[in-house]
């Protein structure tokens, strides 16, 4: 294994959205890298039980599963407290990974849709941060990683809720990174790339999609380096570089307008 994997040895990690996709890949890699305890949290109890039992078989006494709804403050608080009890009072890493893609034309959205979007994609992470901070302060530090998206700086048509929530999460994470720096509590935003997960539905992911394991490897490498924004793929890195450059503004308008028109005609999936 590479040198950076030592960052995770004998550490306790809590991962939300842990029963599938990137979250599950993170859990598997953390265990491979020598984590002492991995706490898996997910809303889907059946899938969580299946995957946690599989990992528990491979890594006895190192896996703990908690069914949790990140859209509910009380559920997140209970999850963190239960995780801390299981791990002897320590949580070194919190991966606020759970989220929804929320594809919908703006005219079709309701205030209830927007509230739900922020409850899951933004407040889920916010509640996790609030709940884990006392634990990290008591132990002298920790690392919080929040999964955003390239859509935070390169927003796509028909994803207004998703893009807005991920942009808010990016801003929150970057702000708290400096507020908490001197307490040895690190914060990083994850831009995981286009990843081949079930989020793509029946049409499947695009050919450029990377595997959840590839994404998780990039995430954990960037986290160990304490990167402010962990951008896993070159496509997302290019998008971040060009998002607000005046000299490419016309190209960006043309690019996003083309996508908007294709989506309006039903030619593009997620």
Which of 162, 244, 251, 255 is catalytic? The answer is: 162
- Identify whether 127 is part of a domain: yes
pLDDT at 269 over 60: no
Q: Are 103 and 158 in contact (CB under 8 A)?
A: yes
- Identify whether 250 is part of a domain: no
CA angle 143, 149, 151 (to 5 degrees): 150
Count of C-beta atoms within a 10 Å radius of residue 157: 18
- Identify whether 242 is part of a domain: no
- The fraction of the chain above a pLDDT of 70, given in percent, is 97
pLDDT at 222 over 70: yes
pLDDT at 200 over 70: no
- Spatial separation of the C-alpha atoms in residues 95 and 27, rounded to whole Å: 10
Going by pLDDT thresholds of 50, 70 and 90, the confidence category of residue 258 is very high
CA angle 206, 207, 212 (to 5 degrees): 80
Span 174-202, average pLDDT: 91
pLDDT at 132 over 80: yes
* Domain count across the chain: 1
Phi and psi for 38 in degrees, rounded to 5? -120, 120
- Identify whether 121 is part of a domain: yes
Please confirm, yes or no, whether 244 is among the known catalytic residues: no
- Spatial separation of the C-alpha atoms in residues 240 and 232, rounded to whole Å: 12
Q: Is 64 helix (H, G, I), strand (E, B) or coil?
A: strand
Q: Please, what is the end-to-end C-alpha distance for the chain in angstroms?
A: 35
CA-nearest of 36, 34, 38 to 14 is 38
- Identify whether 206 is part of a domain: yes
Span 253-266, average pLDDT: 91
pLDDT at 270: 52
CA-nearest of 67, 96, 66 to 84 is 66
- CATH classification of the domain holding 82: 3.40.50.720
Q: Is 193 helix (H, G, I), strand (E, B) or coil?
A: coil
**Domain limits for position 68:** 3-236
pLDDT at 202: 64
Check: pTM over 0.75? Answer yes or no.
yes
**Mean pLDDT taken over the chain:** 95
Q: Which tens digit of pLDDT belongs to each residue from 109-129?
A: 999 999 999 999 999 999 999
pLDDT at 72: 97
CA angle 192, 198, 201 (to 5 degrees): 120
Range of lowest pLDDT (116-120, 201-205, 224-228): 201-205
Locate 233 and state its tokens. 């793929």
- The fraction of the chain above a pLDDT of 90, given in percent, is 89
Going by pLDDT thresholds of 50, 70 and 90, the confidence category of residue 196 is confident
Distances (CA, A) of 246 to 49, 146, 249: 50, 29, 5
- Identify whether 23 is part of a domain: yes
- Identify whether 182 is part of a domain: yes
Q: Which tens digit of pLDDT belongs to each residue from 51-110?
A: 999 999 999 999 999 999 999 999 999 999 999 999 999 999 999 999 998 889 999 999
């Amino acid at each position: 294994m590479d040198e950076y994997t030592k960052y995770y040895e004998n550490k306790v990690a809590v991962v939300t959205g842990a029963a599938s996709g990137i979250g599950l890949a993170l859990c598997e890699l953390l265990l491979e890298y020598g984590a002492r305890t991995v706490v898996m949290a997910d809303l889907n109890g059946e899938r969580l039980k299946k995957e946690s039992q599989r990992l528990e078989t491979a890594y006895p006494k190192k896996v703990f599963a908690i069914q949790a709804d990140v859209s509910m403050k009380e559920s997140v608080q209970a999850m963190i407290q239960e995780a801390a009890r299981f791990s002897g009072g320590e949580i070194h890493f919190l991966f606020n990974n759970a989220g929804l893609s929320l594809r919908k034309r703006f005219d079709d959205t309701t205030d209830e849709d927007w509230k739900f979007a922020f409850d899951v994609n933004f407040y889920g992470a916010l509640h996790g941060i609030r709940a884990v901070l006392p634990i990290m302060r008591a132990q002298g530090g920790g690392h919080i990683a929040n999964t955003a998206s390239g859509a935070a700086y390169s927003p796509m048509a028909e994803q207004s809720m998703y893009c807005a929530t991920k942009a808010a999460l990016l801003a929150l994470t970057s702000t708290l990174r400096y507020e908490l720096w001197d307490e040895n509590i690190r914060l990083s935003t994850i831009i995981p790339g286009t990843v081949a997960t079930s989020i793509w539905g029946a049409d499947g992911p695009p050919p450029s999609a990377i595997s959840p394991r590839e994404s998780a490897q990039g995430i954990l490498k960037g986290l160990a380096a304490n990167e402010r924004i962990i951008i896993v793929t070159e496509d997302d890195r290019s998008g971040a570089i060009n998002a607000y450059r005046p000299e490419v503004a016309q190209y960006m308008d043309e690019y996003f307008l083309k996508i908007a028109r294709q989506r309006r005609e039903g030619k593009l999936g997620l």
